[in-house]
Structure 1
Amino acid sequence: MSVNKRTFKKNFLPSLKKKAKNSFIENYGNFSLKATESGYITASQLETVKRISIKFLKDHGSNQLRMGKQNIVWLRVHPTFFVTSKGSEVRIGGGKGSLKTRVAKIDSGQIILEFNLESITIARKLLKLISIRLPIKIVLNSNINLES
């Protein structure tokens, strides 16, 4: 019996025409960043968003966070698809190409990131920092009562 020797499946990229089904509900934090359009986010962009949000929460978090407790950021998307590419001087044929990067498919309405903060003004600052670095439009979604 022959065994497949490929370690990674070279898959087709999925279509971007549908809305999120199960990943639009907040589960963990009181603020979340929600995508308003569909697109792809690379693994390096997700890592940058994670680093920026952890550093921002360390500087602007509550007193409990400053006293030694961890700043928790919940990433709700993960890069699961591989993007392949061929060299610039390669002739036509010879297969699909080598693996280049990994991307995460983002549907419209899907939650990308969740975090805990007390004030909405600080959360809006974090939204502004993160939205510059992502290729899709995102909005701030809150789970708390804002009248008080």
Structure 2
Amino acid sequence: MFSLLSALPTLRHATAPVSIPNGTFGARFRNQIAPRKVKYAKRQKGRIPIPTGGSTRGTTLAYGEYGIRIKGQGVRFTAKQLATAEEVIKRAIKVVKGAKLYMRVFPDIPVCIKGNETRMGKGKGTFEFWATRVPTGRVIFEVGGVPIREEIAREALRLGAAKLPTTYEFITRNSPPRLGNMLIEPLSPSIPPTPVTTLEPSQAS
């Protein structure tokens, strides 16, 4: 005979709260760009990196045919800014069937903020939003996937750049890499010098 008392342990186990793994926090909605899991719940503010080592990685196109990269100073993007720009660019390239948008940066740094007029101490503030630090010359968005007219890609990326801080430049596959504020132009092939024939005194006479 079925007894309600015998089913109590099963019911109690079914309604137990699910434990969240360590390192997972923050709301992640459908329209929010956020990592699924991070190692540390809170991080220091940090500084925007400056490319002083001579590396040009991330300053040229890798997936698409056209793109934009930072021309002004480095900046810290928030997840909301990147999501807004991504939505605007996707809406603009929708007229081209099969066109794709590639985002080369991702907000994976948690930013914590304390309230105004709060006394010092008592730990770090609470989680507020996701962000990422991007240096000068880094590519932000790329458009490609299928052959697309340059006018459409330029206008779509211009609308997306208007939603982001700092200044940008439109680049193609032929654009040279950038090291900070300098463009690394390819070396032109040098013309070998014409060999000079030296005449001996006997031959000159």
Bin of the TM-score, shorter chain as denominator length? 0.7 to 0.9
CA, structure 1 residues 6+94, in 2 after alignment: closer, same or farther (shift >3 Å)? farther
Q: Which has the higher contact order (CA 8 A, sep 6+)?
A: 1
- Distance in 2, matches of 1:130 and 1:121, equals 14
Is 1:24 matched up with 2:63?
Answer: no
- The percent of aligned pairs where both chains have the same amino acid is 24
Alpha-carbon deviation of 1:6? 5.7
Structure 1 gaps of 5+ residues are none
Specify which of 71, 78, 92 is matched with residue 56 of structure 1.
92
- Distance in 2, matches of 1:33 and 1:125, equals 11
- Distance in 2, matches of 1:113 and 1:132, equals 13
Runs of 4+ in 1 over 4 A off after TM superposition: none
TM-score normalised by the chain length of structure 2: 0.59
Structure 2 gaps of 5+ residues are 1-21, 25-39, 176-205
Which letter maps to 2:166?
I
Is 1:122 matched up with 2:122?
Answer: no
Q: Deviations over 1:57-81 (max 9, x none)?
A: 103x2xxx1xxx4x31111100011
Q: Deviations over 1:79-121 (max 9, x none)?
A: 0111111122432211110011111111111111111253222
Which letter maps to 1:120?
E
Q: Show the counterpart of 1:113.
A: 141
What number of residue pairs does the alignment pair up? 133
Q: Show the counterpart of 1:84.
A: 112
- Distance in 2, matches of 1:48 and 1:91, equals 35
Q: CA RMSD in A?
A: 2.1
Q: Show the counterpart of 2:31.
A: none
Alpha-carbon deviation of 1:17? 4.7
